[in-house]
Amino acid sequence: MDINVIHEAIQEQDTDLIVVNLFEGVTQPGGATGAVDRALGGAVGDLIAGGDFKGKLDETAVLYPRGAIPARRVLIVGLGKAEEFTLDRVRRASATAARRARDLGARRFATIVHGAGIGGLEAQSAAQALAEGTLLGLYEFNRHKAPSEDQRQVAEMAVVEFDAARLPAIEAGVRAGRAIAAAVALTRDLVNEPPNFATPTLLAQRAHQIAEGRRISVTVLEREEMRELGMGALLAVAQGSDEPPKFIILDYQPEPRQEGATPPTVVLVGKGITFDSGGLSIKPAEGMEEMKSDMAGGAAVMGAVQAIADLNLPVRVVGLVPATENVINGHAYKPADIVRAMNGKTIEIISTDAEGRLILADALVYAKRYAPQAVVDLATLTGACITALGKGQAAGLFSTDDKLAEQLKRASASTGERIWPLPLYDEYSDVMKSDVADLKNSGGRYSGVGASAAFLKAFAEGYPWAHLDIAPMAYLDKDKPYTPKGATGFGVRLLVQFVRDLVAA
Catalytic residues: 283, 357
Q: Are 22 and 53 contacting, i.e. CB atoms less than 8 angstroms apart? A: yes
3-state secondary structure 107-131: CEEEECCCCCCCCCCCHHHHHHHHH
Q: Which amino acid would we find at residue 33?
A: T
Could you give the 3-state DSSP secondary structure of residue 445?
Answer: coil
Beta strand pairing status for 216-221 and 338-340? unpaired
Query: In whole angstroms, what is the distance from residue 479 CA to residue 333 CA?
Result: 38
End-to-end CA distance of the chain: 34
Q: Are 251 and 303 contacting, i.e. CB atoms less than 8 angstroms apart? A: no
Q: What CA dihedral angle connects 331, 333, 335 and 338, to 10 degrees?
A: 120
The residue among 317, 496, 504, 477 whose CA lies nearest residue 417 is: 496
Residues 6+ apart with CB under 8 A from 67: none
Query: In whole angstroms, what is the distance from residue 26 CA to residue 82 CA?
Result: 9
Distances, alpha carbon 93 to alpha carbons 23, 67, 77, 167, 186, in Å: 11, 26, 6, 21, 23
**Degrees, nearest 5: CA angle 62-65-67:** 155
Phi/psi at 365 (5° precision): -65, -45
Query: In whole angstroms, what is the distance from residue 134 CA to residue 177 CA?
Result: 9
H or E segment to which residue 347 belongs: strand 346-348
Phi/psi at 19 (5° precision): -120, 125
Q: Are 250 and 318 contacting, i.e. CB atoms less than 8 angstroms apart? A: yes
Cβ-in-10-Å burial (0-12, 13-18, 19+) of 196 comes to exposed
| Per-residue DSSP letter, 480 | B
Query: In whole angstroms, what is the distance from residue 42 CA to residue 28 CA?
Result: 10
Beta strand pairing status for 265-270 and 2-6? unpaired
